[in-house]
Amino acid sequence: MEIPSTTATSPQVTSAAAAATSTGTRGLTADFETFLTLLTTQLRNQDPLEPVESTEFVAQLASFSAVEQQVQANESLKAIAELLSNGSAAGLSDWIGTEVRAYAAAPYDNAPLTLYADPVSGADLAVLVVSDEAGTEVGRVTVSPSAEQIVWDGESTTGTLPEGSYSFTIESYLDGALLDNRAVEVFAPVVEVRRESDSTILVLSDGSRIDSEDVSILRAAEG
């Protein structure tokens, strides 16, 4: 049974995350208004005989939405990471024994993996692309274009893959045209934490390393 996700519970963490989100939101609101102004100008000045394809507008909106969400998540997680780390070994140890959700490789041991996607609005087809440790594509699986969670059981183009570490991306299409290609998040256990310059580096169970600022959700390890 999956243990429910845990976010920071202390008032200090909650306050810091809220403040960071508020600051990021104000900036993103201004950017979004600028984006709408540019989009409106583009519509007014396009050639009526050769209008821009609707798929291009969908792709532009999808790209902006992805950036907007990532900036908000980064601002909140940065505040939480600073409080957890606090520049001390005691703070760093708080990461050990947790599971983090991020864009990272995941160890597959013949048990299904739950992947977390960020669907592109308007897509009518989505393909899960599976890559091995060397970054070589080893599988393509059609999935629901609106799915936020995908259970992957090792399926590939040629059959079930062997145990190993795999990474995932989602390709979104509309009427056969590629709208977006983005990474997929997974939960992975943290086995080691390092301070490098001004960054907190998390070492995951498969040996891969990610920056703590790239974590979107933190939870207690299963079991």
Structural domains of the chain, count: 2
Same domain, 18 and 71: yes
The one-letter amino acid code at 200 reads T
Same domain, 91 and 195: yes
Query: Does the pTM exceed 0.75?
Result: no
The one-letter amino acid code at 84 reads L
Maximum distance among all Cα pairs of the chain, rounded to whole angstroms: 65
Same domain, 78 and 139: no
Bridge partners of 116? 149, 185
Which two tokens mark 119? 């669907």
**Given a cut of 90, is residue 162 above it in pLDDT?**
yes
Residue 119 has what pLDDT? 86
Indicate the burial class of 10 (C-beta count within 10 angstroms; 0-12, 13-18, 19 or more).
exposed
Residue 222 near residue 10, CB atoms below 8 Å: no
DSSP helix/strand/coil, 107: strand
- Domain that residue 24 falls in: 11-98+188-220
Same domain, 70 and 93: yes
* Average pLDDT taken over every residue of the chain: 77
**In a domain? residue 1:** no
Residue 10 has what pLDDT? 39
Which residue from 151, 154, 156 is spatially nearest to 187, judged by alpha carbons? 151
Considering only residues 52 and 28, tell me which one the structure prediction assigns the higher pLDDT: 52
Which residue from 217, 179, 218, 210 is spatially nearest to 193, judged by alpha carbons? 210
Start-to-end CA span in the chain (Å)? 9
Summarised one tens digit per residue, pLDDT across range 91-132 is 677 888 889 999 998 889 999 999 999 888 899 999 999 999
Question: pLDDT band at 64, cuts 50/70/90?
Answer: low
φ, ψ for residue 99 (rounded to 5)? -120, 135
**In a domain? residue 201:** yes
Query: Residue 24 and residue 172: Cα distance in Å, rounded?
Result: 27
